Structure 1
Amino acid sequence: MQIVIFINFGCQKKKQRAAVDFSTVSKGTSAGVKSRGALKQALFSQGVSDKNGTFEVGLILFFLLLLLPELVHSWIHRLITLFLFQSLSQERPGGVQGQVDALKQVLDLFNIPEDLRWTWGEGGTEKALEKSWTDIVDSHESMSKTQRHQQEALWEFINTELTYINKLTIATEVCHNITVFLLLRIYYTCDGSTVSPTMLFSNLPSILDAHQLFWHEVIYPMLQEVRLTGRPFDPLRLEAGCLQFPGRFPAYFEYCLEEERNVEFTRRQLDTTPQFHTYLTWVENHPQCGRMRLGDMQAKPHQRITKYPLLLKAVQKTTEDQPTKNALERMVRLVNHFLESINGYLQLKEDTLALSVAAQRIEGCKIEGLSEEIDKYVREFCCFDLMSPVRGVGPNVIRKQLMEETLKVRIRKDTKLVVLLFTDVLLMTKTQKKSDKLKVVRPPLPLERIHCIELKDGCDLQTFFNPKTQCVI
């Protein structure tokens, strides 16, 4: 049987009823199917008043849950929670505090699966590993100390990967519940700008998907081989997956870029939104969260991705076979290169943002020629953009502001100017009286054409500009 439900929410300050249309469609036949209008008339035209309209809607959805228990943790359950929150909030005075108290009651009724661990393996039935690698490796008693340490290091790699996936699964469930929290707040306050999953967790679901795929394609086959044969774990089974890190985990670039913003947004919400504080307290104290705080959930991805070189080095250190040792060295080197590329990406974005902020403070100098016609042609050549690439280097090298200082500059007469030193250029600017911006008063001076000489008094510095014609200015 297929249940089709049509919901129409309205955001109004006046008390209102929620209009619900639904029809029941039997598979393979259309006989006996009532129209949505007829069902609506039968349910809502029997003297139902505005006072108990919300109650009847909740009652109808309650019976839907009884008919379809498999939907208890689906959106229908969350819809009932929405209606409960609305009814509780309308009956409870006290403004924001009333909303907080109502939200506490709703959260107590909210169902979360008893076990949030990720299911994997054939048929999706496995949730846990063996207690130890010695439970599946037959020759563990006859191994040397070094070999045992190698197997323990590989087991730590596998075990911590599954633990990490489970923690991401919990964080993703919190992410989904944030969506429900957002719906509750929209329905009650008509304000959808308060909080959203991406503002707290960025693209965390994409990271979870990538690691689940890494488990299925790389780690699980290695684990199953040991289970079936009883032979020791082979580090070479990790090689293909580790050499594919850049292609498997590109989602970390975006997550690491947004992480600081997400943490700051969370801190601001905790300070300004009592409802969010109530929700977060409920989440962090829930047994299924395993005593993880929201900050811990947000920090897990960057903590994990930076741990892979250490895990691989631990395996390499205890490996005796030289070809295998060389392969592990390649894995470590490539994973480290991947981490360096993330750091380079973050530095590039940070430098670009800083340069953009600096460029917004600076106004170009006014070109005054002999006539309007001359001015027109002069402006075509007198155009310098701080955001433009630095000449002679690659696109990943961003111009940086190295120094800013107010100096007394003698051109025709002594003038106080704000001198800005960038990676490749020197700007002489002047403060504006009616704004915080700086106006360029002299043409930009390329550093490779500037020569500075300290004068005898030890306080003055003479600057010469040497153009390509070798004529000093």
Structure 2
Amino acid sequence: WGEFALDHGAFGAQCSNPAMSIIGAEDEDFENDLNDVSEYKNLLKDRPTHLLVFMQHVFLQFDPAPLLCYLHADLFRTLSAKETKKQFVEFYNTFLDKGAILKVTVPPSVSNELDRNRPDLLSEETQRRYAQEVQSMQASEVAKQLEDFRQKRMMGMTPNEAELNDVESHYPTDRIPMEMKEKSVAENLLDKMKVGRSESARVDRHSTRRRGSSRSKQSRSRSDVDLQPPLTTTSPAPLTPSPQLEEMDPRLLEFEHDPPNWRELACPEALSCLSKKEIKRQEVINELFATEHAHVRMLSVLQMVFSKPLEREELLTSTELATIFPSLDEIHEMHYNFYENLKKLRLEDNFIVKSISTTVLNRFGGTEGEWFQKLTARFCSHQTWALDQIKSRQKKEPRFNSFIQEAESKPQCRRLQLKDIIPIEMQRVTKYPLLLENIAKNTEDLAEKEKIKQSAECCRKILNHVNDEVKEMENLLNLKDYQRRLDTSGLKPSTELYAEYKNIDLTLKKMLYEGPLTWKVTKEKAIEVQCVLLGDLLVLLQKQDDKMVLKCQSKSNIAVQEGKQMLSPIIKLDSVFLREVATDRKAFYVIFTWDSGAQIYELVAQSVGERTIWTNVIKSAVDDLKKSGAPMRLPLPLGAGGVPLSPST
């Protein structure tokens, strides 16, 4: 049920006061209305972590059938008619049938009707009504369970209190709002509890799998040990170390346990002395530390679950690994050292960090920052190519595919696939500037604040450089794909550019921009093209099946000798001028001048904004050619009165 709720967003609504403890002793509204089960619906159900902890409490202390029935009945409010028919039969078999595993008390009127009629033959409206009546019957028992849970929590006797505190103490940020935090902690808690989508923990502990998922069917029968409170604040450690973890450097084993929140470790007296702004600052510093911890962990997974075994099993050579995971070991070591430095700061003054500026500036500034930028850019720029290579090998090589699937199923991956793990370095680089800016924003000391701002600026420069490298590599990969599919048979031998471009290699050029345009050859003739802007050329490619065709176009239906009126699909930028099209805001003219005259191309973008982008990037490319000293051709030919020649000239 937790999985269903998370997948469908049923329990993801954020409360108006994120810091409010939904079931804390100080919550008077909740306490006064506790016996009304609508409080559960309005508050507890909207907090997935609290709901899961409450469910676990019920599994351990009570008969879970009334609560699970209540939850299941809630589904019918949002189901379609077809889904209602299917779900009601499941609902009947699980909770209402005389031999049901989770038999609940059923209203006599509903019971009598179900004795006379098959549940699958009832109308959808009747099924919904029966589900609501059965749900109402469970309300009083659920309210009693809520009251017991509230009292046990007041006495500190509830499992997973750490998860609840982690959520309640979270300071929402733009990057991690409360809703995201709720969902993340709940998903990790759900992994630990191993609750199947359609079964209770109690049923699962007795190996009853009437409607379990394939994942729960394959799991071992669970004991009460599985449902003990976690050692960490969010994600649990695996029950037993896997071979991959045993192979790890011992210093990395700690990363299977998420670090406690700073509030749990700091001295209560020191906490009480902190200002509201300082508490926010410490929250963001803790977020930087916790997320760096998580990042080092995932880099370790990339190393120990994928990279090293792939080499050991001889599925990839060391050269191939160095291309797919470039500088992985160095990147891991770099992040590990940064994490260790942050860890030392936490330990220096009872987990309340006084100064962080020197540590972050040393990491992201100077020669260390340059090294970080170089390694990260190398790794991130290869990620698209790496993902394509892995996907291709999985299709072609069954043994490689089996290895990847088995590796992805290991608990260390936490349900992530390799395609989700490879981009983590790029994702991490994007987070640093925001985290550091938030720390600076809540820092009172001006010198400290300035150094943190400087670190954030260093991070932003690194991010921009990495983005440029990634884009450049993606462009190269696209050019290689275009080159592979290129067909130059449409270039006319009689055209001036034929000899120069019949054997053109696009991969030797630098791509600046690309996108779809409409090439209006005449008023009656328009061609959809993929326009590729290179450093010195504008190339108009036509898609034909799997080919990208370079084809000259004629402005006349009559065959023209010597191709004098043929428009080439390749335009040299060193002789290009741009003009607007007065009758169409999405269109622009590209005028290509040469010794014997001019050719005018009318290109139409998909929007006014896209037309602006195209004209800007083409003008920029032409300006760069001028600066590089490339010779420009004849000036734009003008007609009478100094008006530029029209396309029909």
CA deviation after TM superposition for structure 1 residue 177, in Å: 1.0
- Equivalent residue for 1:438? 550
- Equivalent residue for 1:235? 356
CA deviation after TM superposition for structure 1 residue 143, in Å: 1.6
Report how many residues are paired.
325
CA deviation after TM superposition for structure 1 residue 388, in Å: 7.7
Deviations 1:379-432 (A, max 9, x none): 89x99987787xxxxxx87365663647359xxxx9999988665766789999
CA deviation after TM superposition for structure 1 residue 260, in Å: 2.6
Deviations 1:327-372 (A, max 9, x none): 3222223212221222222222333444565564447664699xxx
Trace 1:307-326 onto structure 2 (pairs within 5 A): 307-326=431-450
- Equivalent residue for 1:262? 386
Q: Secondary structure at the match of 1:279?
A: helix
Q: What is the aligned counterpart of 1:403 among 517, 521, 540? A: 517
Q: What is the aligned counterpart of 1:180 among 303, 307, 312? A: 312
Unaligned runs of 5+ in 1: 1-109, 184-191, 370-377, 390-395, 456-460
Deviations 1:13-59 (A, max 9, x none): xxxxxxxxxxxxxxxxxxxxxxxxxxxxxxxxxxxxxxxxxxxxxxx
- Partners of 1:223 and 1:293 lie apart in 2 by 33
CA deviation after TM superposition for structure 1 residue 234, in Å: 0.9
Trace 1:237-256 onto structure 2 (pairs within 5 A): 237=358, 238-243=360-365, 244-256=368-380
- Equivalent residue for 1:161? 292
CA deviation after TM superposition for structure 1 residue 173, in Å: 0.8
Q: Which amino acid aligns with 2:311?
A: T
Indicate the RMSD between aligned Cα atoms, in angstroms. Answer: 5.0
Q: Secondary structure at the match of 2:634?
A: coil
Q: What is the aligned counterpart of 1:139 among 259, 270, 281? A: 270
Q: What is the aligned counterpart of 1:332 among 446, 450, 456? A: 456
- Equivalent residue for 2:634? 468
- Partners of 1:388 and 1:270 lie apart in 2 by 30
Structure 1 stretches of 4+ with a deviation exceeding 6 A read 124-130, 382-389, 414-420, 426-432, 450-455, 461-464
CA deviation after TM superposition for structure 1 residue 153, in Å: 1.8
In 2 relative to 1, CA 281–323 (structure 1 residues): closer, same or farther, beyond 3 Å?
A: same
Q: Which amino acid aligns with 1:144?
A: S
- Equivalent residue for 1:448? 576
Please tell me whether the aligned partners of residues 475 and 511 of structure 2 are also in contact (alpha carbons under 8 angstroms): no
Deviations 1:126-168 (A, max 9, x none): 9979734353668333222221221232122123212321221
Larger relative contact order (C-alpha < 8 A, sep ≥ 6)? 1
Please tell me whether the aligned partners of residues 346 and 352 of structure 2 are also in contact (alpha carbons under 8 angstroms): no
CA deviation after TM superposition for structure 1 residue 251, in Å: 2.1
Q: What is the aligned counterpart of 2:428 among 304, 307, 319? A: 304
Please tell me whether the aligned partners of residues 577 and 591 of structure 2 are also in contact (alpha carbons under 8 angstroms): no
Q: Which amino acid aligns with 2:468?
A: G
- Partners of 1:148 and 1:336 lie apart in 2 by 26
- Partners of 2:310 and 2:543 lie apart in 1 by 47
- Partners of 2:394 and 2:527 lie apart in 1 by 44
State TM-score, norm by structure 2: 0.40
Deviations 1:267-287 (A, max 9, x none): 444455443444334434444
Unaligned runs of 5+ in 2: 1-241, 553-565, 584-588, 599-632, 639-648
CA deviation after TM superposition for structure 1 residue 296, in Å: 3.6
Q: What is the aligned counterpart of 2:279 among 116, 125, 148? A: 148
In 2 relative to 1, CA 336–270 (structure 1 residues): closer, same or farther, beyond 3 Å?
A: same
In 2 relative to 1, CA 113–250 (structure 1 residues): closer, same or farther, beyond 3 Å?
A: same
- Partners of 2:478 and 2:393 lie apart in 1 by 26
Please tell me whether the aligned partners of residues 406 and 417 of structure 1 are also in contact (alpha carbons under 8 angstroms): yes
Deviations 1:299-322 (A, max 9, x none): 322222222123223322322233
In 2 relative to 1, CA 116–311 (structure 1 residues): closer, same or farther, beyond 3 Å?
A: farther
Please tell me whether the aligned partners of residues 178 and 196 of structure 1 are also in contact (alpha carbons under 8 angstroms): no
- Partners of 1:387 and 1:270 lie apart in 2 by 27
Trace 1:52-451 onto structure 2 (pairs within 5 A): 111-114=243-246, 116=248, 119=251, 131-133=260-262, 135=265, 139-174=270-305, 175-182=307-314, 197=321, 201-216=325-340, 218-223=341-346, 225-226=348-349, 232-237=353-358, 238-243=360-365, 244-355=368-479, 360-362=486-488, 366=493, 398=512, 400=514, 403=517, 405=519, 407=521, 423=533, 437-438=549-550, 444=571, 446=573, 448-449=576-577
Moved more, 195-204 or 415-424: 415-424
Percent of residue pairs bearing the same amino acid type: 18
In 2 relative to 1, CA 404–384 (structure 1 residues): closer, same or farther, beyond 3 Å?
A: farther
Please tell me whether the aligned partners of residues 345 and 353 of structure 2 are also in contact (alpha carbons under 8 angstroms): no
